Amino acid sequence: MQQTCLIIYHSADHNVCETTLNTLRKVSSCKIIIFTDGLASEITTRWQRLYNVEFVGIPDMAGRRALAKCLTVHKYIIEHKADEQILISDADIYYLQDPFSAFKGNGWDIGLPQRFIKRLGINGGMWFARPSDKLKAYLEHANRELQTPSDPYWQCYLQGLRRRGIVDWWIDQDWLNFIYSDQENIKNKWGVTIGDVPPEYNYSRFLDTPKDSKAAANAILKWEHVAVHLKGTIKQIIYTENLPLAITCHERFTKKDWL
């Protein structure tokens, strides 16, 4: 069974991204593909050598990064074989266990990790897919809807969020929350099953995380989660030297931007 991890990366924080690669490689021998709009040759050479990463370019991402992420990931799933397990991951994840264990013992086509506080909705930082003819047909439809919304429910969903036409941010996560809310209709119309994945696979609840960075790093190592999503300012814990697999050899990134 081929296992593949897809990462969209915008050449932002190399330390955080390489921490993602390093921790994932420690728990999985999966194929890793980074889709990017440009990386320096010394970075691609290093990551190919250390983590056996493949790189695929994405043209024309300016002003449409989130949409490009959706279309690129969907295109990969549409073009690949049915016996492949696909993980879609952000570039700011600290892996503690093998994320592909999410595929065991269930029959969904798309697996969406829940949050511990379910009312906060689906986080777009990680999800899972099993390619199939029915999923491919649905994702072709999805790509049309993402670019030119025509489904009344999807149009209403975007209008309610006041985010219609915003494609540089949000739309990838909005789409996942939309399909989760519309899963019964998707199942009936397309035969595609959307299932729950436990929140331990994309842990991003830091209300119970110590404020001190070193204490937070120590807490992460004691958790029995599969992966911890280093969202927002929590990314800074990789510089505490308390996370043994964190990589900090690159110039420190100071801007607050999407990876």
Q: What is the pLDDT of residue 256?
A: 58
Q: What is the pLDDT of residue 257?
A: 55
Q: How many CA atoms lie within 13 A of 165 on its CB side?
A: 1
Q: What is the pLDDT of residue 116?
A: 73
Q: What is the pLDDT of residue 259?
A: 55
Contact 73, 6 (CB under 8 A): yes
Q: Determine how β-strand 31-36 pairs with β-strand 53-57.
A: parallel
Residue 78: φ, ψ to 5°: -60, -35
User: Hey, what domains does the chain have and what are their CATH numbers?
Assistant: 2-204 (3.90.550.10)
Q: What is the pLDDT of residue 160?
A: 77
Please report, for residues 32, 173, 187, 231, 244, the alpha-carbon distance to residue 64 in angstroms, rounded to integers and kept in the order given.
23, 14, 29, 21, 35
166 burial level (CB within 10 Å; 0-12, 13-18, 19+): middle
* Helix/strand/coil for 203: strand
pTM: 0.92
Contact 15, 21 (CB under 8 A): no
d(CA 31, CA 25): 10
Please report, for residues 144, 155, 187, 237, the alpha-carbon distance to residue 150 in angstroms, rounded to integers and kept in the order given.
9, 7, 19, 43
Q: Which residues contact 77 (CB under 8 A, 6 or more apart)?
A: 86, 129, 131, 135, 136, 139
Q: What is the pLDDT of residue 59?
A: 75
Q: What is the pLDDT of residue 211?
A: 62
Among 74, 89, 61, CA closest to 197 = 89
d(CA 147, CA 135): 18
The two tokens of residue 201 are 């696979």
Q: What is the pLDDT along the chain (259 residues), one digit of tens a residue?
A: 899 999 999 877 899 999 999 999 999 999 999 999 889 999 999 999 999 999 999 877 778 888 999 999 999 999 987 889 999 999 999 999 999 999 998 899 999 998 877 767 888 899 999 999 999 999 999 999 999 999 998 988 887 777 777 788 888 999 999 999 999 999 999 999 999 999 999 987 664 555 667 777 777 777 789 999 988 778 888 988 888 999 999 988 766 555 5
